Amino acid sequence: MTMATVTVRYFAGARAAAGLSEETVPAGRTLDGLLTELAERHGRLVPVLAVANFLVDGVTCHDRDKPLPAGVTIDVLPPFAGG
């Protein structure tokens, strides 16, 4: 039996802080619950998570208390510098 999972992809400064570009985590938690786990797992990621935007399958997540369904992809997008 395979475990239901969620894929988390890190971009730019989030990738540098997490030390990887992507990871898979168990499904069934809310976005806020997932962020708490990621902060505990990757301490350097904490300040990035505080200012990042989050996409769930390409759509901005507005309800951080709704359980994330299995199979979705979460994109962690820190603010980008522009010029």
| 34-71 confidence digits (pLDDT tens) | 999 999 999 999 999 999 999 999 999 889 999 999 99
What CA–CA distance (Å, rounded) separates 75 from 70?
A: 15
φ/ψ of 49, rounded to 5, equals -60, -30
pTM of the prediction?
0.90
pLDDT tens profile 15-27: 999 999 999 999 9
What CA–CA distance (Å, rounded) separates 15 from 58?
A: 18
